Structures are given as structure tokens and as C-alpha cells.
């Protein structure tokens, strides 16, 4: 038989990154294309101990159906943590629910807030997983370029004026993926002001900010959300483990109750054992010390990668040193064919992500590619950059 | 600010069952409203052992990002199991992906196959979680009444002729939730013939069939799917644990590739540790023996409940003895106000589910309520039925 698919998913392709990820798992490929946490960043012994404790003391709670909002103790722990550490939870105005990774926050938010054909304004480039979540709801994506201090707010205002049915602005203000850029506080305030002026929601995606290894931390947009118009996506993927699929959404109470209904029909609730693990991990272990350890890992890996980029890569390739996150965003001269460069890199066993993956219209010209330093081993970083260094640009 | 929600979720309410579930967790309430597996059905020691093995031998695999299709060894195990035991996987035509519970199969299938306003034909009554998943995609639900041997195929054909844009027929052929009824083989063939004649997909939801404790097993509709038009939803919720959120979808390859794309943007992948647990459980332990143990638990609990229903309940309340699954579907005389009866029951600490929860239009008149025997303890079954027995019908 021939199958009829819905308009919204008909044109959807598997994410280029996920497809490349499959490729990078082939033996011998150096995985600069991935976005995986470093394996040594997983607190394996601690998690094993917690699993044992849970399965000994409360096995039925860890295996039985649970509620869609998430495990109440973990929600309470995160509310407190996000209020005290990030000033990003207001118990009067907000609620917090547990999701199956931050990816689910994108999916649920788009589903709850938007009709097909509505517009979402995104930083350009932006995270492909989120862009595809919005595309899969049949949304129109409108990209706003990034400056060194974050989204171009003049173009943002222009878009807010001219685009039809803008429902929310999607931003990753800290260590943006893929650019690695961080939005200045001034810009955050300006984006918020514009959201208020044009009466739209902001979806703030913040998976990396607890992993800042250099520079000064900058308040979240959620922390200046006096009008209750920010939905905040948080995640345990980079600070504990991505394979467990535990994230969370902080949002105005009314929005939160719709997100819960959407979550209920999506997967009932998030794996409950690992919600308990995350809660015990944050409460019974030294979470700040754990983060300090992670920051050292990523600081060292970033610094190793930058050192070998500086040493090996053509001076025609430009990039900025990241202060956190997992990526270096590299720019080729405009007369270089970026796709051909990335293709030749992977033929030489070095996988990077062509920048097209992160822009609104994949067929637009793009001179960037993304490099990841968390997944490869130190040896792979050294070897991979030696290979890239020998690759001709043209 | 005031929030604008999408048309499709604006009218969605939290599932009545999930809301009641919260209520049933209050101390002292006898939980005939739930649908939880019996706590003693969880193979706690085995799962603990497997978790330890995984965290000792392959911790990074158990915590790292994985692929959206699911853990390859588990997919292979299930393909083999479903082919050999249920004749329900055709390696030429079908693919199998892992989902975050069977609930996600409903969500992804509706999203991939239907535009807003399209029609889904459902058994009436049917599982509220699935109905709400379809509603949340803006679909029109068209109900077909059940006979003792399953869906009324004459009315089904009428609906297939008259309803516009029917995209699929949703059925739970074995131990249907909430009715407990099982569709005869003849009816399964007829439903399949009609799906072929009117060129629609069948979504077959089969969470309970491995828990048949009486009567003869009947082939799945998927097993007679010569035209590749059945999407099959399976689940570990009733045979291993619902809290782990691991299920699967078998579907024609072309459909499967769209489901994967939708899954990728929904939650990236299902909790990987527990995909590994499920795989090891099925391969390294005696899965059939485990199922035999579960069947004994449910046979005993069903029989205890029926005994005390027979003994205590008014003869005006009718019901059929189930041969599997978790529920008894009870009918009050039409002159009895069912909602008032259920309300008085819960005021007396016995929670049941009013039948309205399972019909297309919740405000239609309904004389049924659903009783669950897997969640309450034996003592609660005895006590709860003694309380219900003393409750006046009118």
C-alpha cells in the first residue's frame, strides 16, 4: 500500500546530527561531530550506589506508574535549586515539571502554544533538535542572525513587527549551540523587553550554564521574567547523564498545566527510577563538587582542542574560544566550499557537523562547521586536528 | 499576561484516570480505579541484579546518548520474540522501534499519519490515554460500539463509508481496556478486510495478551497483516514495569521511518539503561517462567475480586469474568445514576472509574464503571467489595 503522512511530518528528515552520530560510531572515526558528554564525566560509582539504595529501599516506587508532573521530591529539589542558584523559579508565578530530557520541553511547548503555520523566531544558527521539533509541528521558522553578544535585536524587532502569528522566541542564551556564543545581560534585557512589547513568549533553553569553566556567569532571562512570559528548559543530560532522559520545564502555572496534559498523552511520565536517582544525587551528594569536577574536565578538553586548532589549522579558519558548553564554531573563508571540506574530513576519518544543519533553510550557503571537544578522547583530539591540519581548504 | 494555546490542546483536560490516580494515592482509599500492575509482579531482585551487571560492565553505554530507533540488541530480541511467539513481525515488510511506553506509539502514530480534523475510528469505550493522545492532535474521534466478540463491524463499515478522512482504526483486540472483552478471530479478520477495502491503517494496541490466564489465545491482527497496514503497539509496562517507560512499535518500514523522526524530536530516545535491562531480562532469564508467575498472580486476584463481587454486589450490577488484562467492566441498571454511585463509593473510600472517562463524548449518558483487581491488595479487594455491597444503587 502507499502511505499518506501528515503535512507536518511529510517533509521532515531525520536530524543530520543524529544521522552523523550513527556514522561516528563506526570504528576509527574521530567524533568531532557528536555532542556527547565526556564518558569520564559520568559519576558511575555514585549512580550505581544510588540505584542499589533505591532498589533495596523502595523498589516498587521505582518501578510503578508515577504522575505526569514528575517525582514530587525531585520537583521540589529543582524548584529550590533553580530559585536559590539561578533566581529562575518564582513559586508565586511558576511551576516546574519533569520531562524526558529538555528535547521534550521543545516538543511540548510548541504543541501547546502553536497552531500549524504559526511562527517561531530562532537564533540563526540554532540547535537542530529544537528546530526539527518546531518543524514537526508545522511551524514557520524565522531566523535572526547572531552577533558576538547574542541575537541581533534590531533584526529581532523587525521580525516581531513583520512576521505573522509569532508565538515565541527560541533562544539558547548561554554557550549557544552551535555557535558557543553567550548573550550579554544587556541583550537578554532587550530580548525580554521586546517579548513584552510584542506580547510573545520566550523559550529559554539552558542545558550548559552549570558548566561554565571561564568568565563570569550571566543571569538567565527567566530571572528577569517579571511578566511570566518565559518557559525555561533545563536538563540533566550534561551534568549527570543524557541516556537517562531527565530534564525539566519551568513555566508560568497556566502554561505548565497545558504542558502536563501534553506530556501525559506523550509518554505518561518520565522514567521514575532515574527521577529518583537525580533527586538523591542532588541531595545526598556534593552536587557543587561534582560540577567543579565536570568543569575541570571540559576546561581541559576545550583547552587541548583550542591548542591543537591553533597549532594545526589554517589561519584562514576562524573561531572563538568557548567559556563553557561543548562546542567550537569554526568559520571557513567564504570562497571555500564548506560541504566539500567536511566531506573530505570525514573521508579522512574526522567527523564534524556542516553548519547547514543549524540554519533555517538547509540549502542556504554556509561557511561554518561545528567541532565538539567533549566526546573525543585527548588522543583523538590531537590526531583529529593533525589530520584536519593536513586537509587543503580548496 | 494572558496565554494563547493551540486549538488542539485548548480544550484538552488532564485525563480523568490520571487525576483519579492522584486521588487514589491518598491514604485509606481502596484503589479499584487504578491500572497499576500488582507490586508483587515486579521482578525486583532480577532487575536489581541486571542493573548492577550493567553498571559494572557497561556503565558508559547505559548513561550516554543513544540512537532514536532504540537499543539494537533489544530491537533484535523483540523482533525475534514477536515473530516466533506472536507471528507479528515480518522482517521483509516491518521494522520495530523502541518507544517510551506504548503511549508514545499512539502519540507518534497520530502525529505521523493525521492532519488536524482527520478522523480516527475507535472502539467505544476505549482507553482514555489513547483517546486523549488523538484529541491532542486535533483529531475527530468516531466511536463504534463493542459487542461481546469485539467491535460492531457493521457499524464500523458504516463509519468507514460515511466519516471523512479516516486515517486509522484504533483497537485493543485482547482484554480490551476498559471492557475486558476480546475480539474473536473472525472479527479480527473482518476488521482487517474492512481496513483493506477502505484503505486505512489499523493501530493495534496489545499490552495485555501475554497475561492471558484463562481461555485460548487468539492471533493478533498484525499476524494477518498481508498488506502492511497494521501498526502494532507493545509494552513492557504490564510484564516488567510501567515506571521504566519502555514499549515498542512494529510497523511497515516506511511508517517506521516517520515514527523515528517524530520520536527523535519528542524525546531523542528512550531511557537507555532500562532498554538494556529489558533486553537482558528477556535473554538471560526465563521470560516464560516469569510470565507464568504473573499469570498466577492475576488469575488469583481476578478470581478473588469476582468471588467477592458475586457475593456482595447487587444482582442488578452485571459484569463478565475476564480471561486476562487487569479490569472488570461493570454495568448498572439504566435507571441508576452511575456518576452518583461512583461519587458515593469514593466518599466511602472506594475509588472506581466512571465509564464516561472511556467514551468519545464524556457528557453522553453511561451506565458503566471500571474496576481494577491488580492494584489493590487482597485485603483491600475484600474490604472494598464489602463497602460497595452496602452502597445503595439509587
Q: Are B28 and B351 in contact (CB under 8 A)?
A: no
Q: What is the pLDDT of residues B257-273, one digit of tens each?
A: 999 999 999 999 999 99
Per the model's pLDDT, the better-predicted residue between B361 and A167 turns out to be: A167
Q: Are residues A297 and A267 in the same domain?
A: no
Does residue B5 lie in a domain region?
no
pLDDT of res. A25: 64
- Report the alpha-carbon angle A79-A85-A87, nearest 5: 70
Torsion angle defined by CA atoms of residues B319, B320, B325 and B326, in that order, rounded to the nearest 10 degrees: 30
Kindly give the interhelix angle for A44-57 and B44-57, rounded to the nearest 10 degrees: 170
For B389, residues 6+ apart whose C-beta sits below 8 A from its C-beta are B311, B312, B313, B314
pLDDT of res. B16: 59
- Restricting to B residues 232-261, those with a Cβ less than 8 Å away from any Cβ of A are 237, 241-245, 252, 254-255, 257-258, 260-261
Q: How far is B137 from chain A (nearest CA, A)?
A: 9
From the candidates A34, A65, A170, which should be mutated to test the interface with B, based on the most B CB atoms within 10 A? A65
Does residue A59 lie in a domain region?
no
Distance, CA of B228 to CA of B196 (rounded, Å): 10
Q: How far is B3 from chain A (nearest CA, A)?
A: 7
pLDDT of res. B339: 87
**Domain count within chain A:** 2
Residue in A55, A113, A274 closest to B6 by CB: A113
pLDDT of res. B260: 95
Does residue B99 lie in a domain region?
yes
Distance, CA of A231 to CA of A96 (rounded, Å): 10
Q: Are residues B136 and B84 in the same domain?
A: yes
- Report the alpha-carbon angle A107-A66-B170, nearest 5: 60
Taking 80 as the threshold, does the pLDDT of residue A17 lie above it? no
Q: Are residues A223 and A155 in the same domain?
A: yes
Residues in chain A closer than 8 A to B8 (CB atoms): 111, 115
Does residue B87 lie in a domain region?
yes
Q: How far is B21 from chain A (nearest CA, A)?
A: 8
Torsion angle defined by CA atoms of residues A301, A304, A307 and A312, in that order, rounded to the nearest 10 degrees: -100
Closest CA to B178 of B343, B339, B322, B365: B322
Q: Cβ separation of A6 and B112 shorter than 8 Å?
A: yes
End position of a domain, from candidates A234, A252, A284: A284
Does residue B271 lie in a domain region?
yes
Q: Three-state secondary structure along chain B?
A: CCCCCCHHHHCCCCCHHHHHHHHHCCCCCEECCCCCCCHHHCCHHHHHHHHHHHHHHCHHHHHCCCCCCCCHHHHHHHHHHHHHHHCCCCCCCEEEEEECCHHHHHHHHHHHHCCCCCEEEEEECCCHHHHHHHHCCCCEEEEEEEECCEECHHHHHHHHHHCCCEEEEEECCCCCCCCCCCCCHHHHHHHHHHHHHCCCEEEEECCCHHHCCCCCCCCCCHHHCCCCCEEEEEECCCCCCCCCCCEEEEEEHHHHHHHHHHHHHHHCCCCHHHHHHHHHHHHHCCHHHHHHHHHHHHHHHHHHHHHHHHHHCCCCCEECCCCCCCEEEEECCCCCCHHHHHHHHHHCCEECEEHHHHCCCCCCCCCEEEEECCCCCHHHHHHHHHHHHHCCCC
Query: Does residue A125 have a cis peptide bond before it, meaning omega lies within 30 degrees of 0?
Result: yes
Partners of residue A203 on adjacent β-strands: A170, A231
Does residue A55 lie in a domain region?
no
From the candidates B8, B138, B271, which should be mutated to test the interface with A, based on the most A CB atoms within 10 A? B271
End position of a domain, from candidates A284, A319, A345: A284
Instruction: Report CA torsion sign: A206, A211, A212, A218.
Output: positive
* pLDDT category of residue A19 using cuts at 50, 70 and 90: low
Q: Are residues A355 and A278 in the same domain?
A: no
Q: Which domain holds residue A128?
A: 64-284
Largest CA distance in chain A: 63
- Output phi, psi for A369, to 5 deg: -140, 155
Distance, CA of B286 to CA of A114 (rounded, Å): 48
Q: Are residues B275 and B293 in the same domain?
A: no
Q: What is the mean predicted confidence (pLDDT) over B72-91?
A: 98
Q: What is the pLDDT of residues A232-277, one digit of tens each?
A: 999 999 999 999 999 999 999 999 999 999 999 999 999 999 999 9
Q: What is the pLDDT of residues B111-139, one digit of tens each?
A: 999 999 999 999 999 999 999 999 999 99
Taking 80 as the threshold, does the pLDDT of residue A18 lie above it? no
Count how many pairs of residues, chain A against chain B, have C-beta atoms within 8 Å.
Answer: 266
For A56, residues 6+ apart whose C-beta sits below 8 A from its C-beta are B48
Distance, CA of A169 to CA of A148 (rounded, Å): 19
- Restricting to B residues 61-100, those with a Cβ less than 8 Å away from any Cβ of A are 61-68, 100
Q: Are residues A379 and A243 in the same domain?
A: no
pLDDT of res. B359: 93
Mean pLDDT, chain B, rounded, equals 95
Q: Cβ separation of A268 and B136 shorter than 8 Å?
A: no
pLDDT of res. B343: 86
Taking 70 as the threshold, does the pLDDT of residue A75 lie above it? yes
H helices of chain A, in order, are 7-10, 16-24, 44-57, 59-63, 72-86, 102-113, 128-135, 153-162, 185-197, 253-267, 272-284, 287-312, 338-347, 378-390
Query: Coil, strand or helix: which one is A280?
Result: helix
Does residue B1 lie in a domain region?
no
Q: Are residues B201 and B300 in the same domain?
A: no
Burial class, A18, CB count within 10 angstroms (exposed 0-12 / middle 13-18 / buried 19+): buried
Q: What is the mean predicted confidence (pLDDT) over B184-188?
A: 98
Distance, CA of B260 to CA of B98 (rounded, Å): 9
If you measure CA to CA, which chain A residue comes closest to B39? A60
Closest CA to A267 of B200, B71, B111, B230: B111
Q: Are A140 and A116 in contact (CB under 8 A)?
A: no
Q: Are residues A106 and A247 in the same domain?
A: yes
Partners of residue A201 on adjacent β-strands: A168
Specify the pTM: 0.96
Residues in chain B closer than 8 A to A265 (CB atoms): 12, 15, 103, 106-107, 129, 132-133, 135-136
pLDDT of res. B26: 76
Distance, CA of A101 to CA of A242 (rounded, Å): 8
Q: Are A50 and A57 in contact (CB under 8 A)?
A: no
End position of a domain, from candidates A225, A257, A284: A284
Q: Are residues B296 and B239 in the same domain?
A: no
Distance, CA of A93 to CA of A66 (rounded, Å): 25
- CATH code assigned at B111: 3.40.640.10
Q: What is the pLDDT of residues B301-312, one digit of tens each?
A: 999 999 999 999
Q: What is the pLDDT of residues A138-151, one digit of tens each?
A: 999 999 999 999 99
Give this complex's ipTM: 0.96
Distance, CA of B358 to CA of B338 (rounded, Å): 14
Q: Which three cell numbers stand for residue A295?
A: 568543569
Residue A334 CB neighbours (<10 A): 8
Taking 80 as the threshold, does the pLDDT of residue A170 lie above it? yes
Q: Which of A13-17, A67-71, B231-235, B293-297 has the lowest mean pLDDT?
A: A13-17
Residue B161 CB neighbours (<10 A): 11
Q: Are residues A260 and A297 in the same domain?
A: no
- CATH code assigned at B331: 3.90.1150.10
Q: Cβ separation of A129 and B101 shorter than 8 Å?
A: no
Distance, CA of A269 to CA of A352 (rounded, Å): 35
Q: Cβ separation of B63 and A244 shorter than 8 Å?
A: yes
Does residue A138 lie in a domain region?
yes
pLDDT of res. A20: 56
Taking 70 as the threshold, does the pLDDT of residue B350 lie above it? yes
Taking 70 as the threshold, does the pLDDT of residue A23 lie above it? no
Closest CA to B231 of B77, B36, B99: B99
Closest CA to A100 of A244, A279, A261: A244
Q: Are A239 and A85 in contact (CB under 8 A)?
A: no
Residues in chain A closer than 8 A to B18 (CB atoms): 67-68, 264
Taking 80 as the threshold, does the pLDDT of residue B13 lie above it? no
- Report the alpha-carbon angle B341-B13-B173, nearest 5: 70
Taking 70 as the threshold, does the pLDDT of residue B151 lie above it? yes
Distance, CA of A41 to CA of A57 (rounded, Å): 27
Distance, CA of A272 to CA of B246 (rounded, Å): 12
Kindly give the interhelix angle for A253-267 and B128-135, rounded to the nearest 10 degrees: 120
Residue A62 CB neighbours (<10 A): 27
- Output phi, psi for B207, to 5 deg: -80, -15
Q: Are residues B167 and B182 in the same domain?
A: yes
Distance, CA of A294 to CA of A288 (rounded, Å): 10
Residues in chain B closer than 8 A to A228 (CB atoms): 1
Q: Look-up: residue for cell 516517520?
A: B258
* pLDDT category of residue B211 using cuts at 50, 70 and 90: very high
Residues in chain A closer than 8 A to B105 (CB atoms): none
- Restricting to A residues 262-281, those with a Cβ less than 8 Å away from any Cβ of B are 262, 264-274
Give the C-alpha distances (Å, rounded to integers) separating B236 from A78, A381, B259, B282: 29, 41, 19, 11
Q: Are residues A134 and A181 in the same domain?
A: yes
pLDDT of res. B18: 56
If you measure CA to CA, which chain A residue comes closest to B225? A1
Q: Cβ separation of A18 and B67 shorter than 8 Å?
A: yes
Distance, CA of A81 to CA of A279 (rounded, Å): 11
If you measure CA to CA, which chain A residue comes closest to B35? A65
pLDDT of res. A224: 98
Q: What is the mean predicted confidence (pLDDT) over B343-366?
A: 90
How much is the CA Rg of chain A, to the nearest whole Å?
A: 21
* pLDDT category of residue A24 using cuts at 50, 70 and 90: low
Give the C-alpha distances (Å, rounded to integers) separating B162 from A363, B134, B159: 43, 20, 5
| CA B169 from centre of chain | 15
Closest CA to A224 of A90, A108, A54, A23: A90
Taking 90 as the threshold, does the pLDDT of residue B106 lie above it? yes
Q: How far is A12 from chain B (nearest CA, A)?
A: 7
Q: What is the mean predicted confidence (pLDDT) over A161-180?
A: 97
* pLDDT category of residue B22 using cuts at 50, 70 and 90: low
Residues in chain A closer than 8 A to B267 (CB atoms): 100-101, 103-104, 107, 245, 266-267
Amino acid at each position: 500500500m502507499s502511505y499518506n503522512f501528515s503535512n507536518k511530518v511529510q517533509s521532515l528528515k531525520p536530524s543530520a546530527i543524529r544521522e552523523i552520530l550513527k556514522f561516528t560510531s563506526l570504528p576509527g572515526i574521530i567524533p568531532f561531530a557528536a555532542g556527547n558528554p565526556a564518558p569520564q564525566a559520568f559519576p558511575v560509582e555514585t549512580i550505581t550506589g544510588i540505584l542499589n539504595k533505591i532498589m533495596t529501599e523502595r523498589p516498587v516506587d521505582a518501578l510503578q506508574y508515577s504522575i505526569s508532573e514528575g517525582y514530587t521530591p525531585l520537583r521540589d529539589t529543582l524548584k529550590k535549586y533553580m530559585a536559590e542558584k539561578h533566581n529562575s523559579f518564582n513559586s508565586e508565578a511558576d511551576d516546574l515539571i519533569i520531562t524526558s530530557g529538555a528535547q521534550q520541553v521543545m516538543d511540548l511547548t510548541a504543541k501547546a502554544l502553536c497552531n500549524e503555520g504559526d511562527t517561531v523566531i530562532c537564533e540563526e544558527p540554532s540547535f537542530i533538535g529544537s528546530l526539527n521539533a518546531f518543524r514537526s509541528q508545522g511551524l514557520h521558522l524565522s531566523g535572526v542572525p547572531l552577533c558576538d553578544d547574542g541575537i541581533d535585536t534590531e533584526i529581532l524587532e523587525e521580525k516581531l513587527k513583520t512576521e505573522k502569528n509569532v508565538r515565541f522566541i527560541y533562544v539558547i542564551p548561554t554557550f549557544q549551540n552551535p555557535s558557543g556564543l553567550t548573550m550579554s545581560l544587556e541583550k537578554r534585557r532587550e530580548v525580554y523587553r521586546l517579548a513584552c512589547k510584542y506580547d510573545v513568549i520566550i523559550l529559554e533553553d539552558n542545558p550548559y550554564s552549570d558548566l561554565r569553566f571561564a568568565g563570569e556567569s550571566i543571569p538567565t532571562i527567566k530571572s528577569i521574567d517579571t511578566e511570566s512570559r518565559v518557559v525555561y528548559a533545563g536538563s540533566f543530560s550534561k551534568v549527570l547523564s543524557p541516556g537517562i532522559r531527565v530534564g525539566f520545564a519551568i513555566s508560568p502555572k497556566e502554561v505548565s498545566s497545558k504542558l502536563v496534559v501534553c506530556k501525559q498523552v506523550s509518554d505518561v511520565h518520565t522514567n521514575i527510577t532515574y527521577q529518583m536517582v537525580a533527586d538523591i544525587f542532588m541531595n545526598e551528594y556534593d552536587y557543587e563538587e561534582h560540577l567543579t569536577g565536570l568543569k575541570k574536565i571540559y576546561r581541559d578538553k576545550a583547552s587541548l582542542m583550542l591548542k591543537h586548532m591553533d597549532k594545526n589549522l589554517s589561519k584562514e579558519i576562524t573561531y572563538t574560544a568557548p567559556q563553557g558548553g561543548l562546542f567550537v564554531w569554526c568559520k571557513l573563508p567564504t570562497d571555500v566550499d564548506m560541504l566539500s571540506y567536511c566531506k573530505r574530513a570525514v573521508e579522512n576519518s574526522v567527523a564534524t557537523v556542516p553548519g547547514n544543519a543549524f540554519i533555517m533553510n538547509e540549502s542556504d550557503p554556509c561557511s561554518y562547521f561545528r567541532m565538539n571537544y567533549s566526546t573525543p578522547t585527548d588522543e583523538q583530539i590531537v590526531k583529529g586536528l593533525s589530520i584536519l591540519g593536513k586537509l587543503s581548504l580548496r
